[in-house]
Amino acid sequence: MDYIKSNSLNNCMIMGDLNAYSPLDAIWLEHKAPLRKNLSNWDQAHPEYGNMRGQHFDYSVLSTFIAAGFDDCIGRMVFPENKRVSFPTATLYGWNWGDSRLAEVSERLDYILLSERLSPLVQQAEVHNDPDLEGISDHYPVSVVIGQLEK
Q: What is the pLDDT along the chain (151 residues), one digit of tens a residue?
A: 788 888 888 889 999 999 999 999 999 998 998 899 988 888 889 888 777 888 889 999 999 999 999 999 999 999 999 899 999 999 999 999 889 999 989 999 999 999 999 999 999 999 999 999 999 999 999 999 999 877 6
pLDDT, residue 117, reads 93
What are the CA-CA distances from residue 24 to residues 15, 73, 143 (Å)?
A: 17, 10, 18
Q: Using the 8-state DSSP alphabet, how is residue 136 labeled? A: S
pTM of the model: 0.90
pLDDT, residue 48, reads 81
pLDDT, residue 125, reads 98
pLDDT, residue 75, reads 97
Question: Using CA atoms, how far apart are residues 115 and 51, in angstroms rounded to an integer?
Answer: 25
The answer to whether the peptide bond before residue 80 is cis (omega within 30 degrees of 0) is yes
Question: Using CA atoms, how far apart are residues 19 and 21, in angstroms rounded to an integer?
Answer: 7
